[in-house]
Structure 1
Amino acid sequence: MSLYQSVRAVANARGGETEWIDWRATAEAAKQARDQGALTLDDAERRAYATDVRDARSRLRTVGGLEFDIPQTIEVQNRHHWIDANIKTFERMLDPIDIATLIDDTNALNGPSGYATRMVNTGSMAAALAFLSGNVLGQYDPQLLSQTTDTIETNENNHELYFVHPNIVDVAAELDVEYPRFRRWIAFHEVAHAAEFGAAPWLRTHIEDRIESGLEALTGGRLDRSAFSDVDIVMTAVEGYAELLMDRAFDKEYADLRAKLDARRGGGGPVAQLFRRLLGLGVKERQYERGAQFFETIADQRGVKAAATVWEDPRYLPDESELDNPQYWIDRVNP
């Protein structure tokens, strides 16, 4: 890890007239700023990851009443692997934004001001990825905006599942919990996301449509608040349901894991707290809490399988008022 090399990579950021981030420099700078972490797995531990995922699939199908399958691509990564995977994701999602149109100057990225803009953007993205790569435990990637028309049901290759092994090991030690049990619980959470997207073939397209609407508005110099509000509602449902399902389906004791992980999400020192605010992680924590409370209320009243009704049709997604008053949703949908 070398902060000097990280800064140097950002300072050398380059790009064309519409490229507002140098993704190669972003990857290099992020990796220089974050140690990759140890990834020395023996055959037994690799089998343990695979077993956790398979068991999670079986338990989630039974408890949630959902039909789905797990991704063909399941990777146990170090932090640099995670950065590489997410560079591709961010590049794919941000590519539609024409920065020259946004700043109303097609030549703006060619001169000194353009160089400074690109350097700042590259540095900001590198810092974000470096920070996140040290905190992410697992990730289900539905490959949004990947330009494929196949659904998860018909194409098993268009979604992926990652586990950032060094972070799982470090956080288990930090929380003073048994590593195998913690690893397994994280697997249940990520497979729960696969369950959501597998049970709702429309979900991916629904999210993509709203993201594309928001990006098109930005490219035109407008802010489509409704599009981003819709995405926030959907992601609140996605995160909240995964929280419910991972706990209700987990086959071991989890109360201590839940309490310690929830505390960690809102913790950290001043620098970590600053990064969380800048990256909007407070919003994500609110999605976890708000969504989990919504689904817990439904599950307590009607059962866990009734909560899965939300994935049957886009009409069954909650609105803002229903997220805060689950009884409104129950009265409307009546699962």
Structure 2
Amino acid sequence: MGLYRSVQAVANASGDGPIDWHAVAEAAKGSVAPGSVDLSEAEREGYAGDVRDARDRVSDVGAVEFDLPGTVEVQDRHHWIDANVTTFERLMRPLEQQAKYMPGLARLANTGSMAFALSFLGNNVLGQYDPLLLAEADDHALYFVHPNIERVAGQLDVNRDRFRRWIAFHEVAHAAEFGAAPWLSTHLEETMEETIGALTDGRLDRDSLGELDTTMTAVEGYAELVMDRAFDDEYDDLRAKLEARRSGRGPIAMLVRRLLGLGMKRRQYERGKAFFDVVADERGVAGASKVWEDPSHLPTDEELDHPRLWLGRVAE
């Protein structure tokens, strides 16, 4: 019944734009079970306590001051899809404005592709820090997809509470980055607008794409560093099992991840963490946090592979 709902939603895609976002949401949710967010009081307190503790630990270890997002939600998969349909629609609006009156067949293909992507992600995302780029509101948001956290903890055979807490530390580390660097959202927005502007003109701006990649590598790498070094428990087994799960995916799942660009995101995690591990070993996590003091402190593409160049350029 869910697959039928998805196919029907895509087939009924309408409008003048290149993507029918209402159909995207309906199709994505039609192919993914929402899962339960019927939490016990202890589970609700667990999420709240993890976020508060992560804020305190990250602030202390990283020597950064920041506020938690105004929106912190424990979601089911359908809630996550709805939130991210809104985000994707906002981010892609400039491209859509350049592609009005798209033929129906192309609209069906675009709508189906986006629904497929969001259904896959909705079934796999554990937590998300959303800086709400290009939004009118200044506030950010933090999401935990409870059914996915429960499922993956079971698959990894790890303690659910400890696994949930570890995920919270990673997402709160992202809050620390954007809180410590008020300029970061603007920097990403401007770079994205340059990239999208070039695409609407039929060009590929490699400079803006490269800048976006290096910035996101720093963002993901720092969060990986802080996730581990600020976490107040053992985590080696969690990381080892999560890495084994990622490496052991079947060929279809690996192909889907490649098509969605998740291989690039994984490379950003690994490359960024390798950079920050060297910096933190030399100067501590607080020293690594200097990357957020000024846009000029962001590592260059070369520095990401040779951290000592960054250490020589950015004084203590």
TM-score by length of structure 1 reads 0.92
CA deviation string 1:59-91 (max 9, x = no partner)? 001000000010121000000000000000000
Q: Partner letter of residue 129 of structure 1?
A: L
CA deviation string 1:184-216 (max 9, x = no partner)? 000000000000000000000000000001111
Q: Partner letter of residue 124 of structure 1?
A: S
SS in 2 for 1:96: helix
CA distance in 1: counterparts of 2:12 and 2:96, whole angstroms: 22
Whether contact under 8 Å (1:20, 1:99) holds in the other structure is no
Whether contact under 8 Å (1:267, 1:273) holds in the other structure is no
Deviates more, 1:49-58 or 1:222-231: 222-231
CA distance in 1: counterparts of 2:118 and 2:110, whole angstroms: 12
CA distance in 2: counterparts of 1:221 and 1:249, whole angstroms: 44
Q: Partner letter of residue 44 of structure 2?
A: R
Deviation at 1:264, TM superposition (A): 2.3
CA deviation string 1:256-292 (max 9, x = no partner)? 0111112223331122111101001000000000000
CA distance in 1: counterparts of 2:244 and 2:189, whole angstroms: 32
1:274 and 2:255 matched = yes
Correspondence for 1:155: none
CA distance in 1: counterparts of 2:183 and 2:97, whole angstroms: 30
Deviation at 1:99, TM superposition (A): 6.3
Say how many residue pairs are matched.
316
CA distance in 1: counterparts of 2:27 and 2:98, whole angstroms: 24
Correspondence for 2:190: 209
Correspondence for 1:285: 266
CA deviation string 1:96-135 (max 9, x = no partner)? 114655xxxx65x2xxxx1110000000000000000111
Deviation at 1:229, TM superposition (A): 1.0
Q: Which runs of 5+ in 2 are unaligned?
A: none
CA distance in 2: counterparts of 1:40 and 1:267, whole angstroms: 31
Correspondence for 1:9: 9
Cα 1:9/1:326, change in 2 over 3 Å:
same
Whether contact under 8 Å (1:99, 1:219) holds in the other structure is no
Correspondence for 1:57: 55
CA distance in 2: counterparts of 1:145 and 1:99, whole angstroms: 15
CA distance in 2: counterparts of 1:257 and 1:24, whole angstroms: 38
CA deviation string 1:280-310 (max 9, x = no partner)? 1000000000000000001111111100010
CA distance in 2: counterparts of 1:229 and 1:34, whole angstroms: 34
CA deviation string 1:19-78 (max 9, x = no partner)? 100000000000011111121102221111000000000000100000001012100000
Correspondence for 1:154: none
- Of residues 18, 21, 33, the one that matches 2:19 is 21
Structure 1 residues 228-267: aligned runs within 5 Å: 228-267=209-248
Correspondence for 1:81: 79
- Of residues 108, 114, 139, the one that matches 1:119 is 108
Q: Partner letter of residue 270 of structure 1?
A: P
Whether contact under 8 Å (1:30, 1:83) holds in the other structure is yes
Correspondence for 1:40: 38
CA distance in 2: counterparts of 1:44 and 1:13, whole angstroms: 43
Q: Partner letter of residue 217 of structure 1?
A: A
CA deviation string 1:209-243 (max 9, x = no partner)? 00001111111121111111111100000000000
CA deviation string 1:149-186 (max 9, x = no partner)? x5xxxxxxx10000000000000010110000000000
Correspondence for 1:195: 176
Q: Partner letter of residue 88 of structure 1?
A: T
RMSD of aligned residue pairs (Cα, Å): 1.2
Correspondence for 1:181: 162
Correspondence for 1:329: 310
> What is the identity percentage for the equivalent residue pairs of Structure 1 and Structure 2?
62
- Of residues 284, 294, 301, the one that matches 2:275 is 294
Q: Partner letter of residue 177 of structure 1?
A: V
Q: Partner letter of residue 181 of structure 1?
A: R
Cα 1:263/1:13, change in 2 over 3 Å:
same
Cα 1:98/1:129, change in 2 over 3 Å:
closer
Cα 1:126/1:119, change in 2 over 3 Å:
same
Q: Partner letter of residue 63 of structure 1?
A: V
